[in-house]
Amino acid sequence: MNRSRGYPWISWMAPVLFCPFSSPVFPRDENRLSFGSLMDHLAHRPISPLVERVIVLAGGKSSRMGTSKANLVYEGETFIARICWDMGELRVPLFILTSGRDLGCANELELPNEQADFPQRFIEKDPEAYRGPLVALGSHAVRHPLTPGGWAFVTGCDTPLIDARFVHTLWSQAAPRLDAASQAIGFSMTDEASDVEVVTEQVMAPFPAFYSASLLASLINASSAGETSLFRLLKSVPKVVVPQQELLPTLADSAVGRLPPWFNVNTPAEHAVLTSNSF
């Protein structure tokens, strides 16, 4: 798919642009921005200055897929390329954490070639490869600590539908609920066995999510103390958990078929579901 580089929103606006039965989302009004101007504004507006970077985890073994999930293809682009393009709209540094196994150099990781479009993109080999996201993020925070009070948006390379609009929406929904103790921002999980949303203050999907500088800095000590599970650690962390039903009305037109923007691909079957829902 040839994507409009200046307008990554083209994918999430597909139902409006191409469905003859869609009702207008933006009514005509001389006092409003034009459709094109409004979309350009939404796609390029800056995220909160508290959000200092994006971190993409791309160091898993991907044994079930037979290849790195970062290099899986959706609509003509690798997952990691799509994420780079869309996260680039946030205009903050983007760190890609790799294991070095098959993503050891930039040439092997299939990324957009227009380097000038990504002056703040860093491919970082994880010296603690294959020890899980808790260790990967903790090691990254030691090498590149955030400013005290800052936040990072963290996602996996297996979430090709994530875009800047989702990041803005999750942050804006959570911001009024933040307090000085909050260390993470995320959305509620869905129980895989029952497909029912689990809405509690304790259960949060680890990715995609926002992590505070203090939480990231604490991960290396948690690892040294024997903690290996980021999911388990998050249960005891002060956080803001946004229910999926609060996010979906705002993001409904960005869903691909029945898939939400945070849909992640862990198996060949899920990759098939993704491609079958393509526009």
The pair phi, psi for residue 216, each rounded to 5°, is -60, -40
8-state DSSP, 198: E
How buried is 243 (Cβ within 10 angstroms: 0-12 exposed, 13-18 middle, 19+ buried)?
middle
pLDDT tens for residues 189-228? 876 555 666 666 668 999 999 999 999 999 999 999 999 9
* Mean pLDDT, range 244-273, rounded to an integer: 83
* Mean pLDDT, range 169-197, rounded to an integer: 85
**Structure confidence at residue 26 (pLDDT):** 27
Asked if pLDDT for residue 169 goes beyond 80, the answer is: yes
**Structure confidence at residue 24 (pLDDT):** 28
Nearest to 7 by CA among 32, 31, 39: 39
* Mean pLDDT, range 54-80, rounded to an integer: 84
Instruction: Give me the long-range contacts of 228-233 (CB less than 8 A, separation at least 24).
Output: 228/131, 228/132, 228/134, 228/135, 229/132, 229/134, 230/132, 230/133, 230/134, 230/137, 230/206, 231/206, 233/134
Asked if pLDDT for residue 83 goes beyond 60, the answer is: yes
Asked if pLDDT for residue 259 goes beyond 90, the answer is: no
**Structure confidence at residue 134 (pLDDT):** 96
- Mean pLDDT check: name the lowest of 63-67, 152-156, 247-251: 63-67
Give me the domains of the chain, ranges plus CATH numbers: 42-276 (3.90.550.10)
Residue type, 24: P
Asked if pLDDT for residue 142 goes beyond 90, the answer is: yes
Asked if pLDDT for residue 149 goes beyond 60, the answer is: yes
Q: Give the residue carrying structure tokens 């002060």.
A: 238
pLDDT tens for residues 107-139? 456 666 555 555 578 888 877 667 899 999 999
Nearest to 95 by CA among 108, 80, 114: 80
Asked if pLDDT for residue 87 goes beyond 50, the answer is: yes
Phi-psi region at 17: left, alpha or beta (left = phi > 0; alpha = psi -120 to 50): alpha
* Mean pLDDT, range 63-72, rounded to an integer: 79
What is the percentage of the chain residues whose pLDDT exceeds 70?
Answer: 67
Kindly report the average pLDDT of the chain as a whole number: 77
Asked if pLDDT for residue 268 goes beyond 70, the answer is: yes
**Structure confidence at residue 277 (pLDDT):** 75
Tokens representing residue 247 in the block = 């996010």
